[in-house]
Structure 1
Amino acid sequence: MPTPDFILSLREKVGHDLLWLPGVAAVVFNPAGEVLLCRRTDNGRWTLITGILEPGEEPGPGLLREVEEETGVQARLEHLIHVGTTDPIMFPNQDRCQFLNLVFRCAWVAGSARVNDDESTDVGWFAVDELPDLNPRHRMLVDLARSSTGVPVFEV
């Protein structure tokens, strides 16, 4: 999916300056206990399914929208597992963002994992002990989702 219109409008005003945005991420498990990942088009890295909420969009439905848009998988929310701030990110076009990220544990409901938009070059299910190289934050979130109790983790 292309950059959302509201971000393009903001970029006309602030250029490449740092934007503070609401983000969501999903740790989606299938019945075999595998994790859904995508390989990003912009940097070639494997990641959890992530997205930017539209203005006024609720986090849960927004995350489920992102999962289906990016992977063709329909999921259901189980619970919030983590609330945190990402490090600032610089994209290849020099745009900079930092996200307040809400991370949910989710369960597969239907659909075959596939590349479903232009944000990914590959999508797949991975056994937790055979994950591709993930950034440390995403690896921590997978581990947290596996042992989550339904009480979200956040910095105090």
Structure 2
Amino acid sequence: MPVPEFVAALRSRIGHAPLPLNGVIAVVLDERDRVLLGRRSDTSDWALITGCLEPGEQPAEGARREVLEETGVTVEVERLLSIEALDLSVAPNGDQVYWLAIGFRCRAVGGDARVNDDESVEVGWFASDSMPPLPPHQTRCLALALAGDADPWFAAPASAVRPFIRSAP
């Protein structure tokens, strides 16, 4: 998988230490509401289309760019699905990443789905009732995309707002 230049520059300084990165998850639907998936070259697992945002890149633009780069499909980004801090992940080379994943529902508007870079070994359209297993955060994004115009999902804060308690004078 190609490493963005800015990540390579950071890694040259911090090695494999945990690095916070912003990423996008694109749930791409076609005119029949089939879902576009890619079989990852690093794990051979099927997954929604994902990628790392470039510094200063707007998340919706990053989702559009990643789908085009990885699959050759042009999309219109329809709406925000979720924002989620993922658990620490470790790449096969030992690099550690804390991803902030931003999910979007996208609609295919052009292009033919194909393997368009080295991040996937296969791409394909799947009916929502015959999906291969996906990671839990991707399953949540898919459910939100298929639910219509549901509100975006985010994890609830760990603790409720605490009332202000004034100490005695």
TM-score by length of 2: 0.89
Q: Is the 8 A contact 2:25 2:138 kept in 1?
A: no
CA apart distance, 1:150: 5.2
Summarize the alignment of residues 1-156 of structure 1 with structure 2, pairs less than 5 Å apart.
Answer: 2-149=2-149, 151-156=151-156
Instruction: For CA contacts below 8 A with separation 6 or more, give which structure has more relative contact order.
Output: 1
| 1:131–1:137 distance in 2 versus 1, CA, 3 Å | same
* CA RMSD in angstroms, aligned pairs only: 1.1
Residues 59-90 of structure 1: per-residue CA shift (max 9 Å, x gap)? 11111000000000000011001011112111
Question: What is the distance in 2 between the residues matched to 1:27 and 1:10?
Answer: 29
Question: What is the distance in 2 between the residues matched to 1:96 and 1:105?
Answer: 27
Question: What is the distance in 2 between the residues matched to 1:88 and 1:127?
Answer: 31
Q: Amino acid of the residue matched to residue 41 of structure 1?
A: S
SS in 2 for 1:129: helix
Residue correspondences, number: 156
CA apart distance, 1:137: 2.1
SS in 2 for 1:93: coil
Structure 1: stretches of 5+ with no match in the other structure: none
| 1:148–1:87 distance in 2 versus 1, CA, 3 Å | farther
Runs of 4+ in 1 over 3 A off after TM superposition: none
Q: Amino acid of the residue matched to residue 37 of structure 2?
A: L
SS in 1 for 2:134: coil
Question: What is the distance in 2 between the residues matched to 1:96 and 1:43?
Answer: 16
Larger radius of gyration: 2
SS in 2 for 1:66: helix
Q: Amino acid of the residue matched to residue 23 of structure 2?
A: G
Structure 2: stretches of 5+ with no match in the other structure: 157-169
Question: What is the distance in 2 between the residues matched to 1:29 and 1:137?
Answer: 18
Q: Amino acid of the residue matched to residue 35 of structure 1?
A: V
Percentage of identical aligned residues:
47
Question: What is the distance in 1 between the residues matched to 2:100 and 2:148?
Answer: 20
SS in 2 for 1:104: strand
Question: What is the distance in 2 between the residues matched to 1:126 and 1:45?
Answer: 14
Residues 26-59 of structure 1: per-residue CA shift (max 9 Å, x gap)? 0010011100000111111111100101111111
Question: What is the distance in 1 between the residues matched to 2:103 and 2:137?
Answer: 11
Question: What is the distance in 1 between the residues matched to 2:150 and 2:136?
Answer: 22
